[in-house]
């Protein structure tokens, strides 16, 4: 390995050595210069002092600025000063109730408000052949919303509407049930059962299909998150359904779906036309993006067809739902 040589220092002016660009004559002339000629003049001293003072002032100012920046790096709360300008920028914060409502309206634009919410629910369908409950596959599980919808307007009638909406967190298939088309609602041990009669044109003697919603976790009145409230009151769904049925009986003289279905269907058509006239998507932006959603009858038929012969007892629903 080659040895590292020591660098030879360059000679400065007035000293011996090569590489300084001064010849010997200049060196001798410099050495013979009288001593008083080598001393600075008073004017030179004054200029030098001024330069030194200026440099000193500049250094002091720079040091003072650095000190100020160091002191102001963090405020009393420990937040960096340079990041505080972010506090002045308005951040678009949306209350949880408004956000929930806006999301639901992307799927069903007729929803006007949220009356109650359950943090979690699981969808089941009752299998009348086995007498047990069948869970939807793929599983449909998510937040349950009890919603008020825009009333149906069929001149001269105005019919109130409400629905149960399960926003699926495990897939794209949501569940929406119009309470005006439900013939019976019961609750027992966290299980909400909705008896849904056959669609218009189906056999009138067909037994209603039963949808089960196993609700667990906290809930809240209104459209809050439902994560910090008390246990969800399943009875609120029963009371809302009763109110819808009472209004139907008062305005139409009956609440039986076989007689009210034509009016409900006509009102739904008018509602879509009204939304279109307002420049809104009558099917909902999210629904249009993900594709057509099966209605509740199609959903139950699909679940029963996928799980033919299967079912769990009602006490098993609670165990699976947790």
Q: What is the structure's pLDDT at 274?
A: 93
Residue at 162 is within a domain = yes
Which of 160-164, 231-235, 252-256, 305-309 ranks highest by mean pLDDT?
160-164
Q: What is the structure's pLDDT at 292?
A: 82
The token pair at 173 is 């298939």
- The closest of 175, 179, 213 to 196, measured between CA atoms, is 179
Mean pLDDT over each residue of the chain, to the nearest integer:
76
Q: Does 54 have pLDDT greater than 80?
A: no
Is the CA virtual torsion 247, 252, 256, 257 positive or negative? negative
CA distance 37 to 45: 14
Q: What is the structure's pLDDT at 94?
A: 66
Helix (H, G, I), strand (E, B) or coil at 214: strand
Residue at 51 is within a domain = no
Q: What is the pLDDT of residues 111-135, one digit of tens each?
A: 999 999 999 999 999 999 999 999 9
Task: State the average pLDDT over residues 203-213.
Answer: 79
Give the pLDDT band (50/70/90) at residue 44: low
Lowest-pLDDT range, 43-52, 63-72, 122-131, 142-151? 63-72
Residue at 56 is within a domain = no
Q: What is the structure's pLDDT at 309?
A: 54
The token pair at 8 is 């030879």
Residue at 18 is within a domain = no
Burial (CB < 10 A; 0-12, 13-18, 19+), residue 195, is middle
Domain that holds residue 143: 96-198+206-321
Helix (H, G, I), strand (E, B) or coil at 165: strand
pLDDT > 90 in the chain, percent: 45
Q: Which one has a higher pLDDT value, 74 or 203?
A: 74
What's the domain count of the chain?
A: 1
Q: What is the structure's pLDDT at 25?
A: 43
CA distance 295 to 51: 88
Q: Does 312 have pLDDT greater than 80?
A: no
Residue at 163 is within a domain = yes
Residue at 49 is within a domain = no
> Tokens 């009638």 label which residue?
157
Q: Does 227 have pLDDT greater than 60?
A: no
Q: Does 214 have pLDDT greater than 70?
A: yes
Task: State the average pLDDT over residues 19-39.
Answer: 43
Lowest-pLDDT range, 16-30, 45-59, 70-84, 295-309? 16-30
Give the pLDDT band (50/70/90) at residue 316: low
Residue at 83 is within a domain = no
Q: What is the structure's pLDDT at 83?
A: 52
Q: What is the structure's pLDDT at 313?
A: 58
- The closest of 4, 3, 23 to 14, measured between CA atoms, is 23
Q: Does 246 have pLDDT greater than 60?
A: yes
Q: Does 37 have pLDDT greater than 50?
A: no
Q: What is the CATH number of the domain that holds 260?
A: 2.30.29.30
Q: What is the structure's pLDDT at 14?
A: 43
Q: Does 225 have pLDDT greater than 50?
A: no
Give the pLDDT band (50/70/90) at residue 306: confident
Residue at 114 is within a domain = yes
């Amino acid at each position: 390995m080659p040895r590292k040589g020591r660098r030879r220092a360059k000679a400065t002016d007035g000293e011996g050595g090569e590489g300084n660009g001064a010849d010997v004559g200049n060196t001798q002339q410099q050495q013979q210069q009288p001593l008083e000629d080598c001393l600075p003049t008073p004017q030179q001293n004054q200029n030098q002092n001024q330069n030194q003072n200026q440099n000193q002032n500049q250094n002091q100012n720079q040091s003072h600025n650095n000190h100020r920046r160091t002191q102001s790096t963090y405020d009393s709360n420990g937040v960096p000063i340079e990041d505080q300008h972010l506090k002045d920028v308005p951040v678009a914060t949306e209350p949880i109730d408004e956000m929930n409502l806006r999301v639901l309206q992307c799927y069903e634009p007729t929803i006007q408000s949220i009356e109650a919410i359950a943090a979690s629910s699981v969808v089941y369908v009752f299998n009348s052949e086995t007498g047990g409950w069948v869970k939807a596959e793929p599983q449909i599980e998510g937040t349950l919303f009890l919603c008020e919808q825009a009333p149906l307007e069929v001149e001269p009638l105005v019919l109130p509407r409400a629905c149960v909406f399960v926003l699926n967190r495990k897939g794209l298939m949501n569940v929406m049930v119009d309470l005006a088309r439900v013939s019976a609602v019961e609750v027992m041990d966290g299980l909400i059962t909705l008896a849904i009669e056959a669609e218009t044109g189906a056999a009138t003697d067909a037994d209603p299909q039963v949808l089960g919603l196993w609700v667990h976790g906290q809930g809240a009145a209104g459209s809050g998150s439902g994560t910090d409230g008390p246990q969800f009151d399943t009875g609120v769904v029963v009371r809302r359904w009763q109110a819808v049925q009472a209004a139907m009986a008062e305005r139409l003289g009956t609440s039986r779906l076989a007689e009210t279905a034509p009016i409900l269907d006509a009102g739904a058509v008018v509602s879509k036309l009204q939304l279109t006239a307002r420049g809104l998507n009558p099917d909902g932006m999210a629904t249009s993006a993900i594709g057509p959603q099966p209605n509740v009858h199609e959903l139950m038929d699909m679940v029963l067809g996928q799980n033919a012969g299967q079912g769990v007892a009602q006490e098993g629903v609670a165990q699976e739902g947790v």
